[in-house]
Amino acid sequence: MPEKRISIFGLGYVGSVSAACFARMGIRVIGVDIDDNKVSSMNRGHSPVLEDGLDLLMAEQHQAGRLHATTNVAEAVNESSISLICVGTPSAPNGSLDMTYVSRVCEQIGVILKEKLNQPDGYHVVVIRSTVLPGTVEQSLTPILEKASGKRSGADFGVVQNPEFLREGSAIDDFFNPPKTVIGASDERAATLVASLYEGIEAPTFITTIGVASVVKYADNAFHAVKVTFGNEIGRFCKHFGVDSHEVMRIFCEDRKLNISPAYLTPGFAFGGSCLPKDVRALLYGARTADLELPLVSSLLPSNELQVRELIDRLMPYRLEGIGFLGLSFKPGTDDMRESPMVKVVEALLGRGADVRIHDPYLRLSELVGSNLRYLMTEIPHIGNLLKESAKDVIRSSKAIVVSHRTDAFQEAVKGVREDQILFDLVRLDDTDAIKAEYHGLYW
């Protein structure tokens, strides 16, 4: 089996750690940087950046002959089959990314590929490790590579988005024990080659699109920021009331079924029910009485309301032609209507003169009692006139159909929608390609 050879552009934090760790895996690595000091440091077996254990690892790999550095782009590209771009994408004053460095490197690599790709064994993969927004690789960096090389991505060369998940201070351990490996590729050949670099690393590997790979990194970091802020806001709340915040969060984190889990993290419609809205409001009230600001928690209800308003706006063009709802309670399997976001949507549409009909197999007015009944009759006083016996009845008489519950019955019912209808899917139905109606996923 031929020796794996890669080049790594940018010998900052990510590039230096990646270079030393790939070399330790037996891969021959060429580091590339315009900074002579970084290049000479690596060529002496010293790390250009400070990271626990990296200096020793780099010295070992340099001595083993698997790691060296250069300022010569042509040398690096011609002596490798995969180039990983790890240069910085710093923030501009307006929050946008400064793409100067990564664009320049792509152009430089493309120029060298112009000749290399004419050789029988010249196929090359360009891997973007730098963090860039979705669309950047496809709409900006790939065209730069194609223009400079005169070749086509996905045919003559490959392009891959391969985000890193390294934390400063534990980067080497993170490299060899990552939470996941994500490879977004232009084509299968490129994906296979990049995946081979991680052979021997025990982690779930996801081969996906370039767009998904780029957003995964942003989702991770945004969620990390949410967690830090959430922990601090709960801590501020606890301190005022004399509660041990670390004990609260220790118990909180022991819940791997709902709290530290995929639960509630699939894109879908707004939250509702008898618990979440009420408890968020109570938490905020308690904070206000203590003169505490909880900006993150304070944003939850307005963000939730925004989702409700967006759906209403998308349905308004069909208000006179008939809008049908499959599901009204805040989730399937219950008749609890309290603060159901669908009740709010229906209420708003009725207030604007919409023609509405509803089917919810769990909603039986004769069986509703107490606060649940009072809430529904207050929000939609004439609900009885809107209810239909079956999903087919709703579909038959509606121009637009909204599916808010994911059930087998509704999965089957939507097979009967017509080509002249519009389907709004809030739950990510299966087999949507078979749906005849004009299809609109909520966030997909």
List per-residue pLDDT tens for the chain, 444 residues long: 578 999 999 999 999 999 999 999 999 999 999 999 999 999 999 999 989 999 999 999 999 999 999 999 999 999 999 999 999 888 888 888 899 999 999 999 999 999 998 888 889 999 999 999 999 999 999 999 999 999 999 999 999 999 999 988 899 999 999 999 999 999 999 999 999 999 999 999 999 999 999 999 999 999 999 999 999 999 999 999 999 999 999 999 999 999 999 999 999 999 998 888 999 999 999 999 999 999 999 999 999 999 999 999 999 999 999 999 999 999 898 888 988 999 999 999 999 999 999 999 999 898 888 888 898 999 999 999 999 999 999 999 999 999 999 999 999 999 999 999 999 999 999 989 889 999 999 988
Q: Based on the domain organization, do 199 and 314 belong to the same domain? A: no
Contact 380, 337 (CB under 8 A): no
pTM of the model: 0.84
Phi-psi region of 403 (alpha: psi -120 to 50; beta: other; left: phi over 0): beta
Domain with 331, as residue range(s), is 303-441
Whether residue 363 is contained in a domain is answered as: yes
Q: Based on the domain organization, do 77 and 204 belong to the same domain? A: yes
Q: Give the C-alpha separation, 68 to 32, whole Å.
A: 9
Q: Based on the domain organization, do 204 and 311 belong to the same domain? A: no
Determine the pLDDT at residue 352: 95
Whether residue 252 is contained in a domain is answered as: no
Q: Give the C-alpha separation, 53 to 121, whole Å.
A: 37
Residue 441, CA distances (Å) to 210, 350, 402, 428 in order: 21, 23, 10, 7
> In the structure encoding, which two tokens stand for residue 128, read together?
């973007």
Sort strands 181-185 and 158-161 into parallel, antiparallel or unpaired.
antiparallel
Whether residue 427 is contained in a domain is answered as: yes
Determine the pLDDT at residue 216: 94
Whether residue 298 is contained in a domain is answered as: no
CATH of the domain at 347: 3.40.50.720
- In the listed set 157, 184, 208, which residue is the last one of a domain according to the structure? 208
Whether residue 293 is contained in a domain is answered as: no
Helix/strand/coil percentages in the chain, nearest 5: 45, 15, 40
> In the structure encoding, which two tokens stand for residue 417, read together?
């929608």
Side chain identity at 55, as an amino acid letter? Answer: D
Contact 43, 62 (CB under 8 A): yes
Q: Which of the residues are catalytic?
A: 275
Q: Based on the domain organization, do 68 and 183 belong to the same domain? A: yes
Q: Based on the domain organization, do 44 and 165 belong to the same domain? A: yes
- In the listed set 160, 178, 208, which residue is the last one of a domain according to the structure? 208
Whether residue 234 is contained in a domain is answered as: no
The helix-helix angle for 370-379 and 341-351 (nearest 10°) equals 30
Any idea how long the chain is? Answer: 444
* Nearest CA among 38, 26, 294, 89 for reference residue 46: 38
Q: Give the C-alpha separation, 107 to 109, whole Å.
A: 5
- Which residues touch 11 (CB under 8 Å, ≥6 apart)? 19, 31, 32, 33, 35, 38, 39, 42, 48, 49, 69, 86
What sign does the CA torsion over 345, 405, 335, 397 have?
Answer: positive
Q: Which residues pair with 116 in a beta bridge?
A: none
Whether residue 71 is contained in a domain is answered as: yes
Q: Based on the domain organization, do 34 and 180 belong to the same domain? A: yes
Whether residue 285 is contained in a domain is answered as: no
Number of independent structural domains in the chain = 2
Residue 68, CA distances (Å) to 35, 53, 101, 105 in order: 14, 18, 22, 19
Side chain identity at 204, as an amino acid letter? Answer: P
Q: Based on the domain organization, do 172 and 313 belong to the same domain? A: no
Side chain identity at 210, as an amino acid letter? Answer: I
Determine the pLDDT at residue 1: 57
> In the structure encoding, which two tokens stand for residue 355, read together?
């023609």
> Which phi and psi angles does 279 have, rounded to 5°?
-75, -35
Q: Give the C-alpha separation, 95 to 237, whole Å.
A: 31
| DSSP 8-state secondary structure symbol assigned to residue 117 | T
Task: Count the Cβ atoms, other than its own, within 10 Å of residue 40.
Answer: 13
- In the listed set 182, 208, 234, which residue is the last one of a domain according to the structure? 208
